[in-house]
């Protein structure tokens, strides 16, 4: 994804009057950093949370300790609660959340490059789409590729949401 692709994400957000917040764990704020490199990103970027620790996820995004215990930090369930928590704490109407293992070492039985995503759209009820994906490469490559993917998929899931699709 080039600067043109990031610009396309910004253009899409502007065109559809979407205000974005992110809740990033393993991507460490890279989605916000990619967007902020382009002038005018402030029109569509409301906030970005970087929440590495379980306690930060619980305190700042209201992720349930039970969810973390039951499903683990690298799970779509935690990503879902991160995205919903970011939306509930913000005037944004779309949120992207990431949690996973960037590497280089596995965490337990979770391979490096495993990321869980959630894309949430404000409404009654909030619509959330989740995916678990694997990205190849070293830690830097995984963080970069997954950040780009999270942004790039906003359009896809927004279009699905507009069509009334769920999950």
Upstream peptide bond of 150 is cis (omega within 30 degrees of 0): no
Residue 152 half-sphere exposure toward CB, CA atoms < 13 A: 11
pLDDT at 1: 47
Q: Name the domain count of the chain.
A: 1
Say how far apart CA 136 and CA 138 lie, in whole Å.
7
Is residue 34 domain-resident? yes
In this structure, what CATH number is given to the domain that contains residue 114? 3.90.950.20
Per-residue pLDDT of the chain (167 residues; tens, 9 = 90+): 478 889 999 999 999 999 999 999 999 999 999 999 999 999 999 999 999 999 999 999 999 999 999 999 999 999 999 999 999 989 999 999 999 999 999 999 999 999 999 999 999 899 999 999 999 999 999 999 999 999 999 999 999 999 988 76
Is residue 112 domain-resident? yes
Say how far apart CA 89 and CA 93 lie, in whole Å.
11
Is residue 147 domain-resident? yes
* Residue 61 structural domain: 3-162
CB atoms within 10 A of CB 59: 11
Is residue 57 domain-resident? yes
In the block, tokens 């305190």 appear at 59
Spatial CA neighbour of 8 closest among 148, 146, 123: 148
CB atoms within 10 A of CB 28: 16
Is residue 80 domain-resident? yes
Is residue 43 domain-resident? yes
Q: Tokens standing for 138?
A: 């070293």
pLDDT at 165: 86
Is residue 63 domain-resident? yes
Is residue 167 domain-resident? no
Say how far apart CA 85 and CA 78 lie, in whole Å.
10
């Amino acid at each position: 994804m080039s600067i043109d692709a990031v610009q396309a994400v910004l253009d899409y957000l502007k065109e559809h009057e979407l205000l974005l917040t992110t809740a990033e764990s393993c991507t460490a704020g890279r989605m916000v950093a990619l967007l902020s490199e382009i002038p005018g990103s402030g029109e569509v970027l409301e906030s970005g949370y970087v929440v590495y620790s379980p306690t930060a996820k619980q305190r700042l995004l209201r992720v349930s300790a039970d969810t973390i215990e039951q499903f683990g930090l690298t799970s779509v369930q935690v990503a879902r609660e991160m995205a919903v928590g970011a939306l509930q704490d913000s005037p944004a109407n779309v949120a992207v959340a990431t949690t996973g293992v960037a590497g280089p070492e596995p965490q337990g039985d979770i391979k490096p490059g495993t990321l869980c995503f959630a894309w949430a759209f404000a409404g009654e009820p909030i619509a959330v789409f989740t995916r678990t994906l694997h990205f190849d490469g070293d830690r830097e490559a995984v963080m970069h590729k997954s950040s780009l993917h999270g942004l790039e998929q906003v359009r896809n899931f927004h279009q699905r949401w507009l069509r009334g699709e769920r999950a």
